[in-house]
Chain A
Amino acid sequence: MESGSFAARLGGARWRLWALVPVLALVGAVSLFATTGDSLLDLVGQNPPPRDEVDIRRVEFHPGEIRFKITNPQRDDLTIATVTVDDAVVPYHVDGDSTLGRLRSATIVVRYDWIDGEPLKIGVTSSHGIETSKEIAAAVETPEASGKGFLGYGVIGFLVGILPVALGLAWLPSLRRASPEWLAAFMALTAGLLTFLALEALAEAIDLQAALPSGLGGVGLVLLGVASTYLLLTLLSRQFARGEGVVGGVALATLVAVGIGLHNLGEGLAIGTSFALGELALGSFFVVGFMVHNVTEGLGIATPIAGQRRVSLGRLAALALIAGAPAIPGAWLGGFVTSDVLGVLFFAGAAGAALEVVVEVGRYVARQAPGGLSSGYVLGGYLAGIAIMYLTGLLI
Chain B
Amino acid sequence: MAKNFTRKQVLAGSLPFVAAAPLAKLAWPSTAHGERSATHMGHEHAQMGHAAMIGAEVPAPGGPHAQDDVTFPPRALPHQPGRVREYDLTALDHSIEVAQDVHFDAWSYNGSVPGPIIRATEDDLLRVNFSNAGSHPHTIHFHGIHPGKMDGVFETVLPGGSFTYEFPARPYGMHLYHCHATPLKKHIHKGLYGAFIIDPAKPRPPARELVMVMNGYDTDGDGENNFYTVNGRAFYYAKYPIRVRKGELVRIYLANLTEFDLINSLHLHGEFFRYYPTGSTDHFDYTDTVVLCQGERGMLEIEFHNTGVFMFHAHQSEFAELGWMGFFDVRD
Residues of A within 8 A of B1 (CB): 244, 246-249, 251, 308
A89-B234, A337-B28 known; A236+B12 contact, CB < 8 A? yes
Residues of chain A from 229 to 256 with CB closer than 8 A to chain B in the complex: 229, 232-233, 236, 239-242, 244, 246-252, 254-255
**Residues of chain A lying within 8 A (CB to CB) of residue B272:** none
| Contact B45 A111, beta carbon cutoff 8 Å | yes
Q: Are A93 and B24 in contact (CB under 8 A)?
A: no
The residue among A88, A252, A337 with the most chain B CB atoms within 10 A of its own CB is A88
Residues from chain A with Cβ under 8 Å of B4 in the complex:
242
Interchain nearest-CB distance for A12 vs B (Å): 36
A93 touches B102 (CB 8 A): no
CA distance A244 to B2 in the complex (A): 8
Answer whether residue A4 sits at the interface, using C-beta atoms and an 8 A cutoff: no
Complex interface bits, A106-141 against B, C-beta within 8 A gives 1, otherwise 0: 110001010000000000011111110000000000
Q: Are A254 and B57 in contact (CB under 8 A)?
A: no
What is the size category of the interface that chain B forms with chain A?
35 or more
Q: Report the count of interface residues on A (CB-CB < 8 A).
A: 71
* Cβ-neighbour of B321 out of A88, A92, A254 (below 8 A): A88
Residues of A contacting B: mostly:
mixed
A349 at the B interface (CB under 8 A)? yes
The answer to whether A129 and B36 touch (CB under 8 A), given A90-B50, A111-B45, is no
CB of A341 closer than 8 Å to a CB of B:
yes
In the complex, which residues of chain B have a beta carbon less than 8 angstroms from the beta carbon of A58?
A: 29
Contacts of A241 in B (CB 8 A): 2
A215 at the interface (CB under 8 A from B): no
Q: Which of A95-103, A161-169, A175-183 contacts B (4 or more CB under 8 A)?
A: A95-103
Contact with B along A320-350 (1 / 0, CB 8 A): 0010001000000100010101100110010
Determine whether B13 belongs to the interface, using a CB cutoff of 8 Å to chain A.
yes
A113 to B16, Cβ gap below 8 A?
A: no
Binary contact track B98-137/A, C-beta < 8 Å → 1, others 0: 1111111000000000000000000000000000000000
A87-B321, A93-B39, A254-B13 given; name 12 further pairs at CB < 8 Å: A92-B43, A94-B41, A105-B30, A125-B226, A127-B101, A129-B98, A240-B5, A244-B1, A251-B2, A261-B17, A342-B27, A345-B20
- Interface positions of A (Cβ within 8 A of B): 57-58, 64, 69, 79-82, 84, 87-98, 105-107, 111, 113, 125-131, 228-229, 232-233, 236, 239-242, 244, 246-252, 254-255, 257-258, 261-262, 265, 308, 315, 318, 322, 326, 333, 337, 339, 341-342, 345-346, 349, 353
- A–B complex contacts, Cβ < 8 Å, 15 sampled: A82-B100, A88-B50, A94-B38, A95-B34, A96-B33, A128-B102, A128-B103, A240-B5, A244-B1, A252-B2, A254-B10, A258-B14, A318-B10, A322-B13, A342-B24
